[in-house]
Amino acid sequence: MKKLGLVGGIGPESTIDYYRGIIAGYRQRLAQDTYPQMVIDSLNLKEMYTLSSTQQWDKFADRIIDSLKNLSAAGAEFAAIGANTAHIVFDEVNSRSPVPLVSLVEATCQYAQAEGCKRVVVLGTAFTMSSGLYTDALAKFGIDAFVPDKEQQQVIHNIIFPNLQAGIVLQEEKEAMLRIASQMIKATDADALVLGCTELPLIIKEGDLDTLLLDTTQIHIEAILDYMLA
């Protein structure tokens, strides 16, 4: 088993989901009373949000690199970044990382392809949706990806920050999120919805929409376990 290092804190709620999910998945796969080794370096969400909102992506990447160095020093043999938005700088970070990285976006693209997806809608932070992160990545797998318009992006972003990041789900915000998702899926004839923010599974659940949900958190967890146990 390889020891995992997880860059967490962006945000805290999804970091908890990663921790629980990795432990549960590990124990299920091995069918033994045992637990995986991992170390977590939790970044300051407020600082990372400020850097992303002011488009200081070089400094954003530097903070993640520092985190990866901390994880490596703590014995991590590979690492993962538990946030979609952080993958905007993945190529830069990966080129400088002291340990191998398991990409959330690549794992999601591979999963979507394996599921036979051809057209998907992507929801996430305004940073993620406007960056082309998923539209560009999925295109390489022959999958068309669509994001909401700028006004809808801001609605979604304002639901994620501050409430979802704090684990708060309001019914009216859930309804607004599902309304946008439903309209987008119908307008684009999409066959799946990418939950392109690790907090979105808190508000959009299986059965809420009549379409395939691509839970990027769970997809990433499975990819992490694959690497850990290879």
Domain ranges of the chain: 4-104+218-229, 105-215
Rounded Cα–Cα distance for residues 217 and 82 (Å): 8
Q: Please give the distance of CA 109 from its chain centroid, rounded to a whole number.
A: 12
From the CB of residue 162, how many other CB atoms can be counted at a distance below 10 Å?
12
Rounded Cα–Cα distance for residues 50 and 52 (Å): 6
**Which tokens in the block code for residue 230?**
């290879």
In Å, the largest CA–CA distance within the chain is: 49
Encode pLDDT of 163-189 as tens digits. Answer: 998 899 999 999 999 999 999 999 999
If we measure between CA atoms, which residue out of 25, 168, 4 comes closest to residue 74? 4
Which pLDDT belongs to residue 95?
98
Fold observed for domain 105-215 = Rossmann fold (3.40.50)
Q: What percent of the chain has pLDDT over 90?
A: 98
- Per the confidence metrics, is the pTM higher than 0.85? yes
Q: What are phi and psi of 28, to 5 degrees?
A: -70, -40
Q: Could you list the pLDDT tens digit for every one of the 230 residues in the chain?
A: 999 999 999 989 999 999 999 999 999 999 999 999 999 999 999 999 999 999 999 999 999 999 999 999 999 999 999 999 999 999 999 999 999 999 999 999 999 999 999 999 999 999 999 999 999 999 999 999 999 999 999 999 999 998 998 899 999 999 999 999 999 999 999 999 999 999 999 999 999 999 999 999 999 999 999 999 99
Fold observed for domain 4-104+218-229 = Rossmann fold (3.40.50)
Q: Are strands 192-195 and 119-123 parallel, antiparallel or unpaired?
A: parallel
If we measure between CA atoms, which residue out of 152, 151, 160 comes closest to residue 179? 152
4-104+218-229 and 105-215 agree in CATH topology: yes
Rounded Cα–Cα distance for residues 114 and 91 (Å): 23
